[in-house]
Structures are given as structure tokens and as C-alpha cells.
Amino acid sequence: MNTPPSSAPQTESGGYRPDIDGLRAIAVSIVVAFHAKMSGFSGGFVGVDVFFVISGYLISGIISKALDKGTFSFATFYVRRIRRIVPALVMILFATSVMGWLFLYTGELTRFGWHVLAGATFISNFVLAQEIGYFDLPDRPLLHLWSLAIEEQFYLIWPAIAFVVWRRRWSPRWTLIALIEISFLANIWMVRHSMAVESFYFPISRFWEILAGALLYDLQAHPGPLIRRMNQTPASMRELASIAGALMLIISVAWFDENTLWPGFGGLLPVAGTLLLIAAGRKTRINRLVLSHPWLVAIGLISYPLYLWHWPLLVFGRLVNEGDPPVLVRVILVIIAVVLSIATYRLLELPVRFGPRRKRTVPLLLTGLAAAGVLGTVLLKGVIPGLPDASEVRNFAKWGPDWDAPGGRLVNNGKSIEVFTIRGVSRDTVLVLGDSHAEQYWPRVVRLASERNERFPTVILITYGSCPPMPGANNLGLSWERKEWRCDAIHQAAMRLAASPGVKAVMFAAFWEGYVMRKTLFLTDDPKRRLIVGNGPVLDRLFAKFELELLELRRTGKQAYIVLSNPTVQPGKRHGAPKRLQWSGRQVLAGPIPLSYVLSRTEAVAPLLRASAARTGAVIIDPVDFMCDATSCPTVTLDSMPIFRDDNHLRSGFVSSRASFVDVVFDR
């Protein structure tokens, strides 16, 4: 490694920068430690931001030098990018597809195929932005390709911009500054307007990090008078810059966590730290003694394949173990990733990039990338099945998707507000409010209406998925329709209906604890938008508002019912042993769920609901009392039919025939 490859990190004068390879090693190491859930690395995801800055610095250097010499060629640039990026990527796409075929159920394998196709076409970031946040997707083996997609999207755009700027003799520096401002402001605007997921994944809100590295290169390569004076600063100032940069990265890794809306203003810290370390130069103590250490340089050289290998191995390890494996297993998986990365670097990456036949490799690489896209499409279409089903799983495959009520489908793809009415003979009206956990009881209402006829009241169901039936609350991000959430507005409209004289009872039902676990809910009158994350003043304020509503219902002679959450399935516990062999695409057990697990899930919210009911005269209905015994809750009926549609919703067929615990609401 004494003679680095020609594409290794360079300074503005052309000298090799081993410290930048060391910085790459730091970046990939903290990302790996974060993904392996090692303590002390809660902000390890900032390693990707470090990579972005380094990429901008190096790529801008390649383009700028070629333009200055008049030798820039788009074909040459993209050929080099293909040789650098595609070999390891194609290997990962095919290797993870094999692992997916071995360990994923058919439903999971189909979804995985979409991610393979997205990875082969460099749109993973857009696909993932449509699903959910980065920190909520631990089971996506190709989740990490979002950052590679952003870099490739930058490589598609930036060379053309740089070429136009060079041809028209515009100022590269002011162009970079303007683009950085636009991208950074887009990032801040998106984070502040409930688009944190989009800000994380979209190139417009992440390009500023890459462009920051490009700006640093331009300042070093074409210094003005001010920069030249700064370059003459004493060595002690460069040492301070290096120390400050290292501290910024350490603080970022230790301080930020999964609750941080990223990148936002927080992204400035690791970006600035990386810029300072690069700008300090390779002669400072940290850069020379730490970042340029041969071990770190060696890791830096394999950082790209290591980034690609480590995440799929950790994900499949988690799936096979049915939860996070022990620390020792995670360490072993990381070691395996390192070994595979060394092999990928030496046996694939180096020969393709610098071997004697490298000129013939580009057509083969593009063919391999296209083949990976075809493979993803095949998986997406379900042509290749996943693991075979056990008999219970086959029953689930037949009945699990059951979400239809007699007389028609309840929802419009589960995405929209729904209002359903059953006209009863009685003048009394019962209002059912909530999210999809209120909607799931509609089949029982339909059945009761057909059986009891003249004794049955008018029932109105108002539901909106992922919105709690509580006042003054709303979700961060965008709703199912990709618009601002309307939780509070919908609830206010429903409560105005509840105030009508004909309404005699109101039933509230929801996945109550889900709103605490998801960490997306805030109070609309809170300018700081503090998230409801468990016991605390924000949650207390929400329940205080809820109790005022319950008291108003009681004052006007209406009876309130609160249906607590039904039992939910343990994550990863899918149809028992052998592990993964009998797993379905949904997290549903064939065996019973421990009652202790069910109660632990609801302990943050259920006592508050019970206390609110006791103070306001509301009636508590607890499905656990009806569905569970003293130790466990079944997931299949006595005739082996699944109780659950997925890991937290009840199947419509089960609700219709067995959910008698809600009958009391309509028996008035």
C-alpha cells in the first residue's frame, strides 16, 4: 500500500492524501458501529455525511483538474465512475438476492425485488422516501443504497454544471456558494415543514454536503488573496483546525441519535468537522499520526465494499435470529463483512479499475447492472417464491389479508379518511371514532345490524389511519396522500358531530401505544413540536385535552366507551420454529403471544386511559380480557384460522364472528 492507486485521494498539488483514506475509514467505521447497535455510536449515521463531503472534494478535484488542462471528457469521467461504483454494487445486488431467496418469505422477497431494481437504477433514495423514515426500516437489506443513489445522482448533474460554468467563464466559487445555499435552505425548509423523511432522502436537501467538499477543493486549488493569507497561517492554527474537526465528529457521533431530525441544522456539525480535517492538511498531528495510520488507510481503501457488505449481513442476522442477535454475533458478522470487503477490493475492484483488461470491462459491468435490474423485476413480480409455507402460514396467506366488511371494502387502499353509516330503526346514534383499529371493528357492527334489525341504532364510523381519536394532536411528515396530516381537523369535525342531540354514545378505538412508539405525534399548539415519546408533560397535556372532551360528552348525556388496544404480535416472532422456515410475509405467530409481552407494550398508555375513564365516567373495554388467558394470547382460533391480519390488526373474519366485547356499545 505504499504506492496508492492513481485514483486515490489527492491534494490540490497532486500529492497523495493518506489521511483522507483514513477519514473514509472513520466514516465507514462509525456507520458500521451504529448499524451494529454498539453503545456510544448513537449518531454513527453521520458517517454518511462525512462520505458526502469527501466525495465532493475528490470528484470536484478530478473534474476541475481536467477542465483546467482542457482534457475533460464526459465519457472518461463516467467510465471511471462505472469502474469504481458498479463492480461491488452488482456483486452486492446478486449476493443479497441469493440471501433473500434463502431467508425471506415470499411477501418479503417481492418487496425486496423492488429494492434490488431501485439499487440497480440508483433511485433507492426515492423508493425509501415513499416508505418510512431511515430509522424505522431495520429489515430492508438494501436500505443503505440510498446514499449511493444520492452520490450517483450528483455525478449525473454536477459534471454538466461544472462544464457549463467553465465554458462560460462563470465563477465556480460563487456558483458553488449559490448551489450550497439553495440545497441547505431546501433541507431546512423541508425539516421545518414536516418533511423530515424527504429531507433525509432527497438529493436537493443533501447535495449541499457534497458541494461543501467541492467548494473546499476550489478554495484550495484556486486561492484568492484572502485564502493565500490564510494558507500562511502558523502550523498551530492548522493543528487547532484539525483538533476542532475531530471534536466535531466525536460530538456528532455521541450526541445525535435516532430522534434527531436529520440533516437540518445538525448536519452542519459533521460537515464542518470533515471540512476542517481535510483543510488542516496531512501534516497535522491528528491527520499524520491517526488518520494516516496504515491500518486506517487500509480500512479506507475497502470502505466502499465494506459499506455495501455490512448492512445486508446485519439485517439477515437479525431476521434469522428473530431479533437483534447477541453482541458477539454482530461482531462476527462485521468481521465477515471486512473479510468479504477485502476479497471484493482485491479480486474484483482493483482488477476492474486498474487491470490490463480494464478497457473491456465497462460493457460487462453495464450488462451486469442491467441483469441485476431484471432480477429485481423478476423478484418484484413474484416469479421466484420465497420460503415454503407451513400449513398455518398457508391459512394465513388465504385469510390474513382479510380486511373486507360484508357489503364492500372499508377503505380506499388504506389511505383516506372514511365515513360509513348504518341506518338503524332506532333514533339513537352511536359514533365510532379512531384510526384503523377502530375501522377493524366495522365487520362486527355490520353483523350486529343484520342480526338485531329493529333494536339496532344508527352507527357512524369516522376513521383516518394513523390519527389518534384525541384532540390537538397531529403527525410529523406527510400523510398517506402525501399532504399535511389533518388529524386534529378531522377529530374536531367528528366531535362536532358527536355534539349532535341524536348521538347517544361515542366509541373511541385506536392503536394507542403505537403513537408513543412511533415518535411522530406532537401537539398542534406546541410551537416547538415536541414529540410524544412516553410519560412526560407532553403526553399529560394530550390526555388533559382528551379528558375535557370526555367530560363534555358526559355533561351532555352521552356515554363514552374507550376500546383499549388489542394484543399485538411480537416483532420477529413469526410462526415459531424452525426460524425463518415457517415465516410469513406478516409478523404473525402460530403459537401464543406471552401476556407479559402484551402488557409491556401497553403499559405506557393503558393506565392513563383507565385513569381518564375513571375520572370522566367513560367505560373501558379491554380486548385483552376477552382474547387472552392468564399467561398468553392465541394468534389462531381453535380451527387454525389466523386471528390477526398483520402484527397489530385483527382479521375481519375473526372480528365479525368473535369480537363480541364491543357489543356493549350497541346494546344500549
Confidence of residue 402 (pLDDT cuts 50, 70, 90): low
Amino acid, res. 628: C
Report cis status (omega within 30 of 0) of the bond before 468.
no
- What mean pLDDT comes out for the span 159-180? 92
Check residue 584 and give its pLDDT. 36
Contact at 8 Å (CB) between 86 and 368?
Answer: yes
Phi and psi at residue 592, in whole multiples of 5°? -70, 155
Which of 3-17, 192-206, 309-323, 343-357 is least confident? 3-17
Confidence of residue 345 (pLDDT cuts 50, 70, 90): very high
| C-alpha cell belonging to residue 125 | 433514495
Please list the residue range(s) of the chain that carry CATH number 3.40.50.1110: 400-666
pLDDT above 90: residue 348: yes
Which of 62-71, 605-614, 624-633 is least confident? 62-71
* Better pLDDT: 408 or 10: 10
Confidence of residue 225 (pLDDT cuts 50, 70, 90): low
Percent of the chain with pLDDT over 90: 59
Cβ atoms within 10 A of the Cβ of 536, count?
10
Distance CA 201, CA 45 (A): 13
Cβ atoms within 10 A of the Cβ of 367, count?
11
**How confident is the model over 61-95, as pLDDT tens digits?**
999 999 988 899 999 999 999 999 999 999 999 99
**Residue ranges in 556-605 assigned as alpha helix (H):** 595-602
Check residue 419 and give its pLDDT. 77
Distance CA 123, CA 149 (A): 6
What's the mean pLDDT when you consider all of the chain? 86
pLDDT above 70: residue 256: yes
Phi and psi at residue 293, in whole multiples of 5°? -60, 135
Residues 6+ positions from 621 with CB-CB distance below 8 Å: 561, 562, 563, 564, 661, 662, 664, 665
Choose which CATH entry (3.30.750.24, 2.60.40.10, 3.40.50.1110, 3.40.50.300) describes domain 400-666.
3.40.50.1110
pLDDT above 90: residue 587: no
Check residue 668 and give its pLDDT. 67
User: Which residues sit opposite 578 in a β-bridge?
Assistant: none
* Better pLDDT: 89 or 580: 89
Check residue 355 and give its pLDDT. 82
Percent of the chain with pLDDT over 70: 86
Check residue 415 and give its pLDDT. 43
Phi and psi at residue 640, in whole multiples of 5°? 65, 25
Per-residue CA distances from 621 to 149, 356, 547, 560, 562 (Å): 49, 74, 17, 11, 6
- What mean pLDDT comes out for the span 310-322? 88
Residues 6+ positions from 623 with CB-CB distance below 8 Å: 563, 564, 565, 566, 567, 659, 661
**How confident is the model over 532-568, as pLDDT tens digits?**
877 778 899 999 999 999 999 999 999 999 999 999 8
Distance CA 52, CA 470 (A): 42
**How confident is the model over 259-314, as pLDDT tens digits?**
888 899 999 999 999 999 999 988 899 999 999 999 999 999 999 999 999 999 99
Confidence of residue 148 (pLDDT cuts 50, 70, 90): very high
pLDDT above 80: residue 112: yes
Which of 222-231, 387-396, 416-425, 438-447 is least confident? 387-396
* Better pLDDT: 112 or 137: 112
Distance CA 636, CA 567 (A): 13
- What mean pLDDT comes out for the span 161-165? 93
Confidence of residue 223 (pLDDT cuts 50, 70, 90): confident
**pTM more than 0.85:** no
Which of 88-102, 301-315, 410-424, 621-635 is least confident? 410-424
Confidence of residue 403 (pLDDT cuts 50, 70, 90): low
Highest mean pLDDT (candidates 404-408, 424-428, 576-580): 424-428
Q: Is beta strand 593-594 parallel, antiparallel or unpaired with respect to 559-563? A: unpaired
